[in-house]
Every structure is written in C-alpha cells, then in structure tokens.
Amino acid sequence: MKFTAIVAFLFFLSSCGGRQVSQGGVESATELHLFGEALVGLKLSVEGIREDVIDEDDLQPYPISVLGAHDTELERLEHVKVVMRSGSHRIVVSREGVTVFDRTMYFGDGQHREIRLNQ
C-alpha cells in the first residue's frame, strides 16, 4: 500500500513538471493598401473601421529594398495603409461627394489587399 502511494505521488509530481513547449512565429496584420496619385483630400470609408478624410499624416513611405523599388510605378504614387479585421468590409472612396471607388471586399487573417485608384 505504501509503495503504491509513493509511486502515485511520484507520478503526480512528474506530470506537474513536464516540459512546456511554446511556438513563435511572424504574425502579419490584415491590411488594406490604397495607392493613388493624389490621395490627400479623399474621403475614405471602411465599414466599421475608419471614416474620415485622408491627410498628409496618413501617407506611408514606399518601402525600398536593398535592390531598389519592387514596383517603380507604385513608388511614384501616394500610399495609405489601413489595418483591417478579418471579414467582409465595404470600402468607399470619394472626392467632394463623387464616388471614386465602391466595393465590398473580403479580408482573411494576415491578408494584404491593394487598391490602385486612377483619378
């Protein structure tokens, strides 16, 4: 009986001190990237996330790698990044009440979507 109790107690202790494993990785945000020649002044409405006029502070620099720009056409355009949530969102871009872009888009986890506006 004593032997069984000691074995059970040792088994209990060994299960509490087991090896713990955690995994890490790169988690990418879900993002909308809006490109255009003149984005400042446009009204950007992303259903449930953002609804305001784009100003200079919203513009993002175009990322340039060691070998130069990935897409020289995009490098010349203004760029706005919006962090999104997964799911469907209606995106409306307008200037002075005139709709330039209106579409419902689906975003998956970690997905990056691009919109190029030709104004």
> Quick check: is 1 in a domain?
no
**CATH code of 79's domain:** 2.60.40
- Looking at residue 89, its pLDDT comes to 95
Q: Residue 74 falls within a domain, yes or no? A: yes
Query: What DSSP letter does each residue of 68-113 carry, written as one string?
Result: B-S-HHHHTSEEEEEE--SEEEEEEEEETTEEEEEEEEEE-TT-EE
pLDDT of res. 48: 83
Query: Residue 51 falls within a domain, yes or no?
Result: yes
- Does residue 9 lie within any of the structural domains? no
Q: What is the pLDDT of residues 10-67, one digit of tens each?
A: 666 665 555 555 556 666 889 999 999 999 999 999 988 899 999 999 999 876 655 6
Q: Which domain holds residue 70?
A: 29-116
Task: Return mean pLDDT, the chain.
Answer: 83
pLDDT at 17: 55
pTM reported for the whole predicted model: 0.70
Q: Is the pLDDT reported for residue 70 higher than 70?
A: no
Q: Is residue 20 part of a domain?
A: no
Q: Dihedral (C-alpha) 94, 96, 97, 99: value to the nearest 10 degrees? A: -30
Is residue 98's pLDDT more than 90?
yes
Residue 73 falls within a domain, yes or no? yes
Q: How many domains does the chain have?
A: 1
Q: Which of 56, 59, 45 is nearest to 93 (CA)?
A: 45
